[in-house]
Amino acid sequence: MSLASVVIVGAGQAGFQVAASLRQEGYDGRITLIGDEPGLPYQRPPLSKAYLLGKISEPNLLFRSAEFFMAQRIDLVHDKATAIDRLNRRVLLAGGGVASYDHLVLATGAHNRPLPVPGAHHSGVFGIKTKADADALAPLAKAARNVVVVGAGFIGLEFAAVAAALGANVHVLELGDRPMARAVSREMSELFRTAHEGWGVHFDFLQGLASIEGDNGRACAVVTSDGRRLPADLVVFGIGVIPNAQIATEAGLEIENGVKVDTYLLTSDPQISALGDVACFPCLHNGEQPTRLESVQNAVDQARTLAARLVGKPTPYSALPWFWTDQGDLKLQIAGLSAGYDSSVLLGSPQAQQLSVLCFRGGQLVAVESCNRVGDHMAARKILARPARLSAAEAAAPGFDLKAWEAANRD
C-alpha cells in the first residue's frame, strides 16, 4: 500500500514529527504539512518558561532549519484548513486552495479554554499557546508589578515562577484546593506550593475569577469569586485546553473528547488518522480507557507509530506516557498515569525538594512522580514499560532504592 500523498493538518510537535518520521521511514511520496502559524514549526514547551526569560532565543525554538524542509521535500503550507472533503479526499484551505490526499493526518492540537468572565477581552490578559502569545507577553512580564495567574496547572505555575523571578507580585487563583491537583499527588502538590510560596507567590485556593476590570481597555485589576479586588497589570490564564476537532466533527468523523482513534491511531475513516493533543485513543497504560494526552512525549511517540504504519509497518500504540514541567529550580517528571491510584510510597525528602511519589493501584505500580530526582524518573520509565512487578511493600522497605531495583530486575 504505497501512498502517493500524505497531507498533515497541524504543524506543531505531532504534525512536524509525522513528516520527519515518514522520511526517516523511507516514505518517498508527497508530504504536505499545513500550519496556520507563520514561520517554521517550533517547540512549545519553552514558551511559558525559558523563552520568556530569554534563556532560549527564537531560532533555537525551531525544530529544524528551512533547508531541512527543502531537502526532505516536506511542503510547508501556511494556511488554515477549513474543511475535509472526504468524498474527494481533499482538504479545503482558508486561502482558497485545496490539498489532495491519499491519507490525511489530523494533528490539529488544542486551543486554550477561554476565560469565561467579563473583561477577559482587555489587553494585558493572556493565555500562552503560540510563539506570538509569548512574544507579546514577554515585555509585559518584565515590566509587570502585579500579576494574577488564573489556574494552578503546569502552564500557570511555570509562568508564576517566571513572573516571580522577574520581580512581580504574583497571585495565583485556583478553583481546586491545591496546585496541579489533576496531575499529581497531594504530597507533590504540597512540595510545589511550599516552593512557590518561598519564591513569593501567593495562592488563593478554592477561588475563582469573577471579572477583570479595565482602565482604558487595559487590565488593571481582577475581582475574585468571593468579591475581593486584586490589582493586576497582567493576567495570565491556564485553565485547560479544548481539542481542535471542528473540521473533524464537521466531516462526520467519530468524536469523543477529541477525535476518536483506535489503537493504530486511525479515525472512523480508514483514510484519516489523528494524533497528539487532538486524538483520544485507547491507552494501554490507562486500562485501555479512551485517553487524550497533551504532551510532547505523546505527540512524538504517536507520530513514530503512525509514520511506521503509513509505510506498511503497523503496530498498536503502546508507549508509556511521561511528562515534565520546569518551575524555578524544580524539575517535576511524571512517568505513567496515576489516575485512581489507591496507595503511595514516598522516596526522598520534601524538605530537601527531592521527592519521588510511587503511585500504586491494586498493588500495581502505575505512576511515579519525581521532583529533582531524575534517576528515579528514568528508572520508573524502564520499570513501567515492562509488566509491573514492583510491590508497594517492597518499595516501602527501609533503604529502598528505585534505580538499584530497576538495575537488579532487568529482563
Partner 1 sequence: MPTLTFIEHNGTEHHVHGDIGQSVMQAATFASVPGIPADCGGACACATCHCYVDEAWVGRLPEAEGSESDMLDYAFERRDTSRLTCQLWITAEMDGLVLRLPESQF
Helix, strand, coil percentages for the chain (3-state, nearest 5): 25, 30, 40
Contact string 281-320 vs partner 1 (x = CB under 8 A): ---------------xx--x--------------------
Cell of 239: 485553565
**Which residue among 199, 324, 400, 405 contacts partner 1 (CB under 8 A)?**
324
Tell me: does residue 62 bind partner 1 (CB under 8 A).
yes
Residues 337-350 as b/e (b if ≥16 CB within 10 A, e otherwise) read: bbbebeebbbbbeb
Q: What is the distance between the alpha carbons of residues 203 and 296, in angstroms, rounded to a whole number? A: 28
**Which residue among 190, 326, 339, 346 contacts partner 1 (CB under 8 A)?**
326
Instruction: Count how many Cα atoms sit within 13 Å of the Cα of residue 71 in the half-sphere of its side chain.
Output: 7
Q: Which region among 29-37, 42-50, 168-176, 195-203 touches partner 1 (by CB under 8 A)? A: 42-50
Edge-to-edge strands of the sheet including 30-35? 74-78, 30-35, 5-9, 103-106, 272-274
Using CB under 8 A, count the residues that bind partner 1.
Answer: 31
Q: Which of 12, 9, 7, 6 is nearest to 299 (CA)?
A: 12
Tell me: does residue 64 bind partner 1 (CB under 8 A).
yes
**Which residue among 32, 291, 333, 356 contacts partner 1 (CB under 8 A)?**
333
Tell me: does residue 249 bind partner 1 (CB under 8 A).
no
Helix (H, G, I), strand (E, B) or coil at 405: helix
Q: Which region among 56-64, 105-113, 133-141, 220-228 touches partner 1 (by CB under 8 A)? A: 56-64
Q: Which region among 63-71, 119-127, 191-199, 309-317 touches partner 1 (by CB under 8 A)? A: 63-71
Tell me: does residue 60 bind partner 1 (CB under 8 A).
yes
Contact 158, 183 (CB under 8 A): no
Q: What is the distance between the alpha carbons of residues 312 and 324, in angstroms, rounded to a whole number? A: 32
Q: What is the distance between the alpha carbons of residues 253 and 321, in angstroms, rounded to a whole number? A: 26
Whole-number minimum distance, CB 135 to partner 1, in Å?
18
**Which residue among 210, 331, 391, 400 contacts partner 1 (CB under 8 A)?**
331
Tell me: does residue 401 bind partner 1 (CB under 8 A).
no
Tell me: does residue 378 bind partner 1 (CB under 8 A).
yes
Whole-number minimum distance, CB 378 to partner 1, in Å?
4
Q: What is the distance between the alpha carbons of residues 69 and 398, in angstroms, rounded to a whole number? A: 54
Residues that bind partner 1 (CB under 8 A): 24, 43, 45-46, 56-57, 59-60, 62-65, 67-68, 71-72, 296-297, 300, 324, 326, 331, 333, 372, 374-375, 378-379, 381-382, 403
